Amino acid sequence: MLFPTKVVELNPRDNEHIKRLNDPAEAGLFHLEAWLPFSEAAKLDRGNANVRPASERKKPFRDMVDTVEKSPSTFHLKNRGIIYRCDKFEFDNKRTVLRVTVPDISPDDLDDLENDTPKYGIADGGHTFEVIQQTMARINELREREGWPEPFVRVHFLAGQAFDIGELEQLVEALNTSSQVQQFTLDEYQNKFDELKDALQKG
């Protein structure tokens, strides 16, 4: 069954913020990496590739909100970004316009669709996207703060016909079950336990 499509136009701030990547497995997939300001990333549809709701109570979510508030210029460095499944993408470097083609499905219909419905949208980064949407809901207030720059986010666009629905679901599952580095591991990496180790060895 063929589904209608629509094109979402995004405006990166700079042509140098866009990079096409060749798939190393030559698997019929096409990749594009983009640094997008929040106001542009928010134009994307969430889609139905990953229907898990964001959990605002979890520490990573709260940390992202804190970064937006206190150090927005570092958001793209601290956050792994979004992987976005689409039909195709096209970048017009003369106009600095990125056109992303996705299925034209009403958000109200996404939950009631049959298995042959094309999967598209956010495969990974649902929490990040929720932070972006919440930020845009109060963007005018934030922009009035002295020295507050709009944050950027990395979006990895993935296009091509190599995935059937089952394969895409496996990809989404793999991306969303990857283990987050625990805080104590980061502390150990930064040698924060050296004094304790010395004390235990002397005891």
Whether residue 106 is predicted with pLDDT greater than 80 in this model: the reply is no
pLDDT of residue 108: 65
- In the chain, helix, strand, coil percent, each to 5? 40, 25, 35
Per-chain mean pLDDT for the chain? 82
pLDDT of residue 49: 84
Please say whether the beta carbons of 14 and 47 come within 8 A. Answer: no
Render pLDDT for 50-93 as a digit per residue (tens, 0 to 9): 777 788 888 989 999 999 999 999 999 999 999 999 999 999 99
Q: State the pTM of this model.
A: 0.79
Q: How far apart are CA 42 and CA 45, in angstroms?
A: 8
What are the backbone dihedrals phi and psi of residue 196, each rounded to the nearest 5 degrees, phi first?
-65, -40
